[in-house]
Amino acid sequence: MRPDDYVFYRNLQKKYPVVQRAESVYVWDNKGKRYLDGSGGACVVSIGHGVPEILEAMMKQAEQVQFVHSSHFTNEQATKCAAYLCNMMPEKNLNKVYFLSGGSEAVESAVKVVRQYWREAGKPDKYKIISRWSSFHGSTTGALALGGHTARRRHYLPIFPYTPHIEPAYCYRCGFEETQDRCDLQCANQLERSILHEGPDFVAAFIAEPVVGASAGAVVPKDGYWQRIREICDKYNIKLIADEVMTGIGRCGENLCLNNWNIVPDVVVLAKGLSSGYTPFGAIVVKEDIYHTIQRGSGFFVHGHTYSQNPLSTAIGAAVLSYIQKHKLIERSKQMGQYLLDKLQDLNSLDIVGDIRGLGLFAGIELVRDKTTRTWFDSALQINKQIANQAFSRGLITYPGAGGIDGIHGDHILLAPPFIITEKQIDELVEILSSAITAVENQI
């Protein structure tokens, strides 16, 4: 066997190029080919690759202490990182941070902390978590069950917990066949109906991505959606969990994406941009009433992961958050995001581009067989992957996806470049993407 035959790859039939190095918005493979990172990997890299300040912070911490277990010690970097993070929250009472190693772990932790809270608050029947179709919350079985992506879920259905789902806020393909002017936010109202069906006394939380990412391609809800969702959660005493793994820490032009609508969740789930990919990292930020109820009750969150709160990851997280603040990168994400969205309008002239949407430096392009009828492609064609492959061969990294419409059908390309991207580089990105889409159009 060759050495790379021992690695269990994501796609078992694909040959991957070998990455050599990365700097700023570019990645190079070992053959010297350069790629523009148009998606920050999987919407991860926000501050850019190879930032010297972060590498220094990493080294400094590694020289002092890399690992101790959170059952034995706390560490200065964890307290520093938590303080940075809480200062970025929209309300002072969102002020307890539990550190983790990634998004799925963080989603599971959010669900568990809410569940334990209700038990300790004297409402042990509250256990159901409502989520949405066409969403993604991670790959561990609990998180996958909450997600609404049929193609990913169907293999594991027998081992999932019970998780009710509601329609997504997907204006381009409204599940209620409404138009923007007639819309009365039926998709949000469906949460109320679902809560009533499930029984408010049995519902613990609603979890959703403020703007849907991996499973549907930057689907932005109509203004008023999140306000209505918050009202419904309050009315029925249900916690709102914002899965900001993709959208948080500036990706959508604000500290949290929900700030775009002035909505404050009860639990925030973060990962990806939290460390900009410099280390596997995640966190939940919890409102203090949840924390205090557990503190005054059993005093112990029945949970724990080996790498939670480790000094090296928290040092990197603190350095990344400090760098973002120092260089005003969230403002930049908003500004460059508008430029990207404007520039992407150039793609409207292409036959298979159906919808272009986004918020901040988080954009999605939905591909259709017919623009007028919005008919989708046969999923077997894997149009999204064909386009991503064409782009990749031309030196552009994108994040393709499918299943936004019903969990199986619907193709999109997700873009989420580092916040430091320039206008010229955005022009380059759109130009390459345009030629990749045209190449696929010419083949079908």
Positions touching ligand PLP (CB under 6 A) are 42, 102-104, 107, 136-138, 209, 213-214, 243, 245-246, 271
Q: Which is nearer to ligand PLP, 140 or 186 (CB)?
A: 140
Q: Which is nearer to ligand PLP, 246 or 353 (CB)?
A: 246
Q: How far is the CB of 139 from ligand PLP (least distance, A)?
A: 6
Q: How far is the CB of 241 from ligand PLP (least distance, A)?
A: 11
Q: Please spell the DSSP secondary structure of 398-409, one letter per residue.
A: -EEEE-TTTSSS
Contact 135, 149 (CB under 8 A): yes
Contact 43, 402 (CB under 8 A): no
Q: Which is nearer to ligand PLP, 208 or 352 (CB)?
A: 208
Q: How far is the CB of 144 from ligand PLP (least distance, A)?
A: 9
Q: Which is nearer to ligand PLP, 96 or 251 (CB)?
A: 251
Using CB atoms within 10 Å of the CB of residue 77, give its burial: 0 to 12 exposed, 13 to 18 middle, 19+ buried.
buried
Question: Which whole-number Å values give the CA distances from 214 to 44, 59, 160, 249, 390, in the listed order?
Answer: 12, 33, 21, 17, 19
Q: How far is the CB of 428 from ligand PLP (least distance, A)?
A: 25
Q: How far is the CB of 394 from ligand PLP (least distance, A)?
A: 25
Q: How far is the CB of 314 from ligand PLP (least distance, A)?
A: 17
Amino acid present at 412: H
Q: How much of the chain is helix, strand and coil, in % rounded to 5?
A: 40, 15, 40
Tokens 């309008």 label which residue?
345
DSSP state of 139: S
Q: Which is nearer to ligand PLP, 103 or 337 (CB)?
A: 103
Q: Which is nearer to ligand PLP, 45 or 107 (CB)?
A: 107
Q: Which is nearer to ligand PLP, 129 or 246 (CB)?
A: 246
Tokens 């789902």 label which residue?
165
The set of residues, in sequence order, having a beta carbon less than 8 Å from that of 226 and lying 6+ positions away, is 210, 258, 261, 263
- Structure tokens that stand for 396 in this block: 């552009």
Q: What is the spatial distance between Cα 6 and Cα 404, in angstroms, rounded to a whole number?
A: 34
Q: What is the spatial distance between Cα 259 and Cα 263, in angstroms, rounded to a whole number?
A: 6
- Structure tokens that stand for 108 in this block: 């599971």
In 10 A of CB 90, how many CB atoms? Answer: 15
Q: How far is the CB of 429 from ligand PLP (least distance, A)?
A: 21
CA 84 to centroid of chain Cα atoms: 20
Q: Which is nearer to ligand PLP, 99 or 136 (CB)?
A: 136
Q: Which is nearer to ligand PLP, 104 or 190 (CB)?
A: 104
Phi–psi pair at 191, nearest 5 degrees: -60, -40
Q: Which is nearer to ligand PLP, 47 or 294 (CB)?
A: 47
Q: How far is the CB of 274 from ligand PLP (least distance, A)?
A: 10
Return the residue nearest ligand PLP (CB atom): 103
For 166, the 3-state DSSP assignment is strand
Phi-psi region of 391 (alpha: psi -120 to 50; beta: other; left: phi over 0): alpha
Q: How far is the CB of 234 from ligand PLP (least distance, A)?
A: 23
Contact 368, 375 (CB under 8 A): yes
Q: How far is the CB of 108 from ligand PLP (least distance, A)?
A: 9
